[in-house]
């Protein structure tokens, strides 16, 4: 880390994250409950996880300790996209291990799961940990998107962990990485390895949540950061009164980020992918809806506005989704051949012969750079949608529609659009107080699960809208959260992604207000995250969490007085 530190960084180093009461006590116990099972696909999952299926829920409570007091060696690895608070998870693991036994040691695997495969790691010392407390980013040990799944990768991990004499490994990642953690745990147990594997729920996308996991870490800080920027743009729009701003936000699949930012800032339009999928809306219908709002606002003398769109949108638009599924199947069988075709035009020509007529037409209607992105897959089989410039695509299509309406004398709207993408800007922000406390607690609790000799669990901290004193920590067997889904054309066990629920309170609140937000200027300006000051300014949970937990005062989630 750079030796130069900002004033805020110096001040934040001194912040002591809060822990749930049970984790603050010297005596910590782990209690196990009844066996668990997944909601669906029980037989398939049991077959794939014979050594770790059906494990009980774990609760961390105060009481006479039944945990390994060491000395122990534990590893930690950061997997996937950055999320604010990752360093605090590591600091929590470290402090918990040292509190249990000063001879316990923590090793950080470098550059993601690839570091476990290659045996690249460094020991984390007091000095290193202290340098990174309450900072954003994953730069302490860096991250990566490698997957430990090939037999040779699993075997390499087994050998490396044995050589290091590692008692436990904490994998900090999203749904795919926690699924991977479960597969590694199963493999290591089958091989009689002593290394236990515990996952930590991370992702700014907010889609790793379920009845046991209330929120993934990083969502709070990232959405507050984007909302600050969107609020600033709303203010600029009402000042300049001449631009339409199209803002794309990260969120690979789920629209939680876009919805949360809409709840915090009240843009004129927010597209929610899950609703678009549910209604089978086509690309043309989306463009007509946006153009209609532009025209109505122009008729009211407002040639400006703000639209928020989740990056995952293309996969939820019925005609584009069908085309991506067809492309995935084609890539499943012909990927090597297609990659070897040099020119883009050759690939496009080959694909148009393989795709159905309708999908071939949709593919041909997209710009070349979007066509290229749709042919890429990351190591988890996902389309790297953050590379599709959806805001530009929508701007072009809406522009065409407005021009055509103008030529027919149907509107006099002036449409001067500007595109923005907010993604990486929010992933490494200094964690909010919420994320700083939550992440430290997750790390502290993960260390207790390792000490309890558990493997194949994801750590959880619940009761998050209460004061941290009342937070409850424990562990959920990953097999309980799995279901079978098609990935790269094969049925694969994965943790079910939590998409926006259309009958959930956050979406219902948005839907009840959006017509008014479309035409009137109801913008809210949240301003930057505050780390010091009154609790109602510094410690507010996200609107999503507040609405989900029924914590909404006067029916308004953001303090503005909306319905
Ligand atoms: P994770 O699911 O790994 O947390 O990553 C989330 C995310 O930030 C998505 O919102 C975005 O689509 C993706 O990462 C970008 O990936 P990359 O960092 O590889 O560009």
The average pLDDT across 120-147 equals 97
In short, whether 205's Cβ falls inside 6 Å of ligand 1 is yes
Q: Tell how far the Cα of 2 is from the centroid of ligand 1, in angstroms.
A: 25
Please give the helix or strand (H or E) that residue 240 lies within, else none: helix 219-240
- Can you give the pLDDT at residue 503? 98
Give the least confident one: 160-169, 316-325, 452-461, 507-516: 316-325
- Can you give the pLDDT at residue 79? 98
The average pLDDT across 391-400 equals 92
Q: Whose CA is nearest to atom 16 of ligand 1?
A: 81
- Can you give the pLDDT at residue 339? 86
Strands 244-249 and 305-310, bridge-based pairing:
parallel
Ligand 1 atom nearest to CA at 427:
8
The answer to whether the bond into 71 is cis (omega within 30° of 0) is yes
- pLDDT tens-digit profile of 404-435? 999 999 999 999 999 999 999 999 999 999 99
The pTM of this model reads 0.93
In short, whether 174's Cβ falls inside 6 Å of ligand 1 is yes
In short, whether 81's Cβ falls inside 6 Å of ligand 1 is yes
**pLDDT band at residue 563 under the 50/70/90 scheme:** low
Ligand 1 atom nearest to CA at 378:
19
The average pLDDT across 445-462 equals 98
Whether the CB-CB separation of 90 and 141 falls below 8 Å is answered with yes
Most confident of 75-79, 336-340, 550-554: 75-79
From 192, 193, 164, 205, select the one nearest 77 (Cα to Cα).
164
- Can you give the pLDDT at residue 316? 92
**pLDDT band at residue 4 under the 50/70/90 scheme:** confident
The average pLDDT across 10-35 equals 93
CA dist 435 and 221 (Å) reads: 7
Residue 398 burial (CB count, 10 A): 23
Q: Which residues are catalytic?
A: 205
Answer whether residue 65 shows pLDDT above 60.
yes
Q: Tell how far the Cα of 52 is from the centroid of ligand 1, in angstroms.
A: 29
- Can you give the pLDDT at residue 365? 80
Most confident of 24-28, 234-238, 362-366: 234-238
Give the least confident one: 132-136, 157-161, 209-213, 359-363: 359-363
Q: Whose CA is nearest to atom 7 of ligand 1?
A: 81
Answer whether residue 447 shows pLDDT above 60.
yes
Using CA atoms, how far residue 466 sits from 28, 211, 460, 544, in Å, is: 21, 17, 15, 15
Residue 27 burial (CB count, 10 A): 12
Half-sphere exposure of 560 (CA within 13 A, CB side): 17
- Can you give the pLDDT at residue 480? 97
In short, whether 203's Cβ falls inside 6 Å of ligand 1 is yes
Strands 121-123 and 490-495, bridge-based pairing:
unpaired
- Can you give the pLDDT at residue 92? 98
Q: Whose CA is nearest to atom 4 of ligand 1?
A: 203
The average pLDDT across 9-18 equals 94
**pLDDT band at residue 1 under the 50/70/90 scheme:** low
Strands 417-422 and 244-249, bridge-based pairing:
parallel
Q: Whose CA is nearest to atom 5 of ligand 1?
A: 81
**pLDDT band at residue 377 under the 50/70/90 scheme:** confident
CA dist 125 and 127 (Å) reads: 5
Average per-residue pLDDT in the chain?
94
How many helices (H) and strands (E) the chain has is answered by: 23, 16
- Can you give the pLDDT at residue 70? 83
Give the least confident one: 145-149, 331-335, 437-441: 331-335
DSSP 126-163: HHHHHHHTT--SSTTT-EE-----SHHHHHHHHHHHHH
- pLDDT tens-digit profile of 525-552? 999 999 999 998 999 899 999 999 988 7
**pLDDT band at residue 285 under the 50/70/90 scheme:** very high
- pLDDT tens-digit profile of 191-212? 999 999 999 999 999 999 999 9
Taken in order of first residue, the domains within the chain and their CATH numbers are 40-218+431-495 (3.40.50.450), 220-314+382-426 (3.40.50.460)
CA dist 422 and 69 (Å) reads: 45
- Can you give the pLDDT at residue 558? 59
Q: Which residue has the higher pLDDT, 490 or 136?
A: 136
**pLDDT band at residue 561 under the 50/70/90 scheme:** low
């Amino acid at each position: 880390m750079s030796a130069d530190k900002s004033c805020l960084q110096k001040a934040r180093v001194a912040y002591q994250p809060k822990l749930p009461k049970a984790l603050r006590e010297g005596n910590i116990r782990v209690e196990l409950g009844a066996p668990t099972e997944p909601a669906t696909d029980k037989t398939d999952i049991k077959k794939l996880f014979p050594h770790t299926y059906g494990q009980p829920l774990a609760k961390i409570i105060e009481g006479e300790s039944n945990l390994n007091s060491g000395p122990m060696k534990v590893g930690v690895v950061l997997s996937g996209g950055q999320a604010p608070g990752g360093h605090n998870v590591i600091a929590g693991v470290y402090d918990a291990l040292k509190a249990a036994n000063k001879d316990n040691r923590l090793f950080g695997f470098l550059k993601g799961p690839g570091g476990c495969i290659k045996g690249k790691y460094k020991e984390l010392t007091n000095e290193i940990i202290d340098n990174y407390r309450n900072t954003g980013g994953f730069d302490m040990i860096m991250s990566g998107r490698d997957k430990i799944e090939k037999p040779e990768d699993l075997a390499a991990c087994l050998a490396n962990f044995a050589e290091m004499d590692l008692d436990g490994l904490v994998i900090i990642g999203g749904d795919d990485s926690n699924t991977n953690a479960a597969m590694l745990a199963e493999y290591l147990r089958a091989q009689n390895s002593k290394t236990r594997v515990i996952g930590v729920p991370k992702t700014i996308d907010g889609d790793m949540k379920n009845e046991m996991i209330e929120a993934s870490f990083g969502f709070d800080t990232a959405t507050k950061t984007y909302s600050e920027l969107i609020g600033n743009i709303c203010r600029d729009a009402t000042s300049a009164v001449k631009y339409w701003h199209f803002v794309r936000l990260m969120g690979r699949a789920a629209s939680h980020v876009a919805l949360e930012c809409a709840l915090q800032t009240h843009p004129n339009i927010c597209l929610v992918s899950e609703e678009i999928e549910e209604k089978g809306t086509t690309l043309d219908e989306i463009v007509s809806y946006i153009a209609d709002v532009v025209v109505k606002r122009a008729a009211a003398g407002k040639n400006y506005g703000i639209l928020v769109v989740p990056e995952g949108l293309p996969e939820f638009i019925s005609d584009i989704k069908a085309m991506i599924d067809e492309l995935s199947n084609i890539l499943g069988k012909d990927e090597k051949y297609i990659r070897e075709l040099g020119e883009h035009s050759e690939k496009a020509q080959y694909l148009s012969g393989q795709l159905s007529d309708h999908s071939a037409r949709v593919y041909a209607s997209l710009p070349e750079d979007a066509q290229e992105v749709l042919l890429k897959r990351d190591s988890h089989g996902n389309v790297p949608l953050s590379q599709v410039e959806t805001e530009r695509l929508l701007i072009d299509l809406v522009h065409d529609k407005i021009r055509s309406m103008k030529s027919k004398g149907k509107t006099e709207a002036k449409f001067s659009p500007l595109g923005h993408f907010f993604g990486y800007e929010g992933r490494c922000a200094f964690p909010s107080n919420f994320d700083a406390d939550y992440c430290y607690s997750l790390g502290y609790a993960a260390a207790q699960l390792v000490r309890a000799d558990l493997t194949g669990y994801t750590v959880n901290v619940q009761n998050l809208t209460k004061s941290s004193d009342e937070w409850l920590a424990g562990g959920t067997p990953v097999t309980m959260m799995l279901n079978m889904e098609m990935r790269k054309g094969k049925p694969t066990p994965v943790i079910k992604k939590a998409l926006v629920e259309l009958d959930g309170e956050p979406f219902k609140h948005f839907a009840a207000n959006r017509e008014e937000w479309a035409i009137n200027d109801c913008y809210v300006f949240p301003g930057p995250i505050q780390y010091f000051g009154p609790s109602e300014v510094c410690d507010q949970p996200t609107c999503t969490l507040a609405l989900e937990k029924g914590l909404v005062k006067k029916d308004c989630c953001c303090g503005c007085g909306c319905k």
